Structure 1
Amino acid sequence: MVQKKSDNPNMQRLPVAQTAAASAFPMLPSLGVGTLDSYIAYVNRVPMLSAAEELHLAQEFRRTENVDAARTLVLSHLRLVVSVARQYLGYGIPHADLIQEGNIGLMKAVKRYDPNNGARLVSYAIHWIKAEIHEYILKNWRLVKMATTKAQRKLFFNLRSNKPTLSALTPSEVAALAKALDVKGSDVKEMEMRLAGGDVALEGEDTDEDAAYAPIQWLADNTQEPTQRIASNEADALQGPKLDQALMALDERSRNIVQSRWLAMDADGNGTKTLHDLANEYSISAERVRQIETAALKKMRGMLQAQAA
């Protein structure tokens, strides 16, 4: 996501070369001109270089690494960066940030520019300026990086401007757009879906009940939470060897009553025998069976608690 800036537009950081990438021009001064509008007005007043002046400065910098020559070349092309950055305002990133990244691209271009190739610096620099702005947008537009391959990058910066309408693309429009951009139709449909979706907060906000439906709730696995694991392990132990030990401590009649009433279940989840069934089996009253059952369960509960402690 784009880093949050000050709510006051006059306090936006100015797009001047004060980053690590600007180390190639350590003497480039800070333009302390206040607001972004003042900065743009300033760079528009910087004189343009003639072809002869540009060639002389570029050759001097390439031959002697004269930083003053490089600074003059950079300053004379700052208005180009402002113009290019303005083309990317639709991505929701502050203009000042786009200009700052474009300035870094401009300085890289000046450092690598070879005047002997016959091309003007403006033609060479525009590719470096766009490359830096593209990279910054891709890194900051969404939490999840949108485009990593060459085809995806091409689609990211051209899909919306080439869509005939705001509606979803029809199959014929997908085919036409894929042909125009020289990409696969499947890539066009995938990028359209990714651009249409937005970022969702993982944990949500702690204001309404909506927080209960945040993705973090869907992803949570309580069975792996430490206290849940401990409780689960203790339950398994109580229902396994420890339960068998408690049963074996009962007399045969009490053990049979407990097993018939609580451990042997039918298809409906009930005990296989009722109090009256067991009363008939042992020739005693149903109340007596209940008393034996209660005493047996109390004894087992005490043994299991002692084992757990």
Structure 2
Amino acid sequence: MTQALAFPIPSALGDIDAYIRAANRFPLLSEKEEFELASRFRKDEDVEAARQLVLSHLRLVISIARGYLGYGLPHADLIQEGNIGLMKAVKRFDPERGVRLVSFAMHWIKAEIHEYVVRNWRMVKLATTKAQRKLFFNLRSMKTDSSTLLPAQVADIAHRLSVRPEEVVEMETRLSGRDLAMEANDDDEDSFAPIAYLADQSSEPTRVLEARAREHLQGDGLQAALATLDPRSRRIIETRWLADDESATLHELAAEYGVSAERIRQIEAKAMQKMRTVLAAA
């Protein structure tokens, strides 16, 4: 049986830096330890097993939360929301699927942080639809520099994210109005600014694991899973989920194959399940 983690939670952490230091001291779990703990929690509702799974992945939350500091929200709050996502991931994690918790949890952590940013960042009140949220979280990275977007760039981003050009211009205006200083304006050691958290994350263990899992899933693993499908199922998956440009709709594929949209949806669901099984066994 996996032993309890060697580092209990300190009774008083003091500040965010102390919390980060404490979180980074929790040891990473081996695949065998993670499987055993997850199995205990899933089968026996062992709360101690769940606790160890959460504590060993706190550094993952911290790492992901750093990516959202540019929105001017407190780092501690971003981490707190991410921790909620981590706990949800642990609750839903199935070790039998052959996927490590670090890969499974990233979706839940980012989802909680996304919701928090949208709810609390006062400059963005129109990010209510799925397309607008996608615009909100992608516009910064899609801009090549800090200058105002040119009309051609606006049109290109609007097309790629399926929004109106006017929405791109509006969102850019709102984002540019919330600049955050890289350094604090005073010498108060309790002041927090992005410069205090910038670091080379290329060697971060969770980043290495994430990159390795993503490379496998997007490369050999994906191709192997697609190869198990019949030609019709493969075309449906490729045009619905892997298209470089606009994805095909259920109705478009239904017309192409002379069946109902519901039938296309059923084929798609069956193909996705088959691919998940292949990827989990890889």
> In structure 2, how many angstroms separate the alpha carbons of the residues matched to 1:131 and 1:31?
29
Matched, 1:129 2:109: yes
> In structure 2, how many angstroms separate the alpha carbons of the residues matched to 1:122 and 1:132?
16
> In structure 1, how many angstroms separate the alpha carbons of the residues matched to 2:139 and 2:124?
18
Change in Cα spacing, 1:104 to 1:142, as seen in structure 2 (3 Å) is same
Aligned partner of 1:171 among 151, 164, 187 = 151
Secondary structure of 1:48's partner? coil
Confirm or deny: 8 A CA contact 2:20 2:59 kept in the other structure. yes
> In structure 1, how many angstroms separate the alpha carbons of the residues matched to 2:130 and 2:10?
35
**Which piece of structure 1 moves more, 180-189 or 128-137?**
180-189
Change in Cα spacing, 1:145 to 1:42, as seen in structure 2 (3 Å) is same
Aligned-pair RMSD on alpha carbons? 2.1
> Computing the radius of gyration over CA atoms, which structure comes out larger, 1 or 2?
1
> In structure 1, how many angstroms separate the alpha carbons of the residues matched to 2:29 and 2:91?
17
Percent identical: 64
Q: Which runs of 5+ in 1 are unaligned?
A: 1-27, 199-309
Report how far residue 145 of structure 1 moved: 2.6
Aligned partner of 2:67 among 84, 87, 103 = 87
Aligned partner of 1:152 among 132, 135, 142 = 132
Secondary structure of 1:68's partner? helix
Change in Cα spacing, 1:118 to 1:127, as seen in structure 2 (3 Å) is same
TM-score by length of 2: 0.56
Q: Which runs of 5+ in 2 are unaligned?
A: 1-7, 179-282
User: Which structure 2 residues correspond to residues 105-144 of structure 1 after superposition, within 5 A?
Assistant: 105-142=85-122
TM-score by length of 1: 0.51
- Residues 247-276 of structure 1: per-residue CA shift (max 9 Å, x gap): xxxxxxxxxxxxxxxxxxxxxxxxxxxxxx
Report how far residue 170 of structure 1 moved: 1.2
Figure out how many residues of one structure are paired with residues of the other and give that number: 171
Question: One-letter code of the match for 1:173?
Answer: Q
Report how far residue 29 of structure 1 moved: 6.3
The corresponding residue for 2:187 is none
Structure of higher RCO (CA pairs closer than 8 Å, 6+ residues apart) = 2
Report how far residue 192 of structure 1 moved: 2.2
Return structure 1 stretches of 4+ with deviation > 4 angstroms. 28-31
Change in Cα spacing, 1:154 to 1:144, as seen in structure 2 (3 Å) is closer
Confirm or deny: 8 A CA contact 1:60 1:66 kept in the other structure. yes
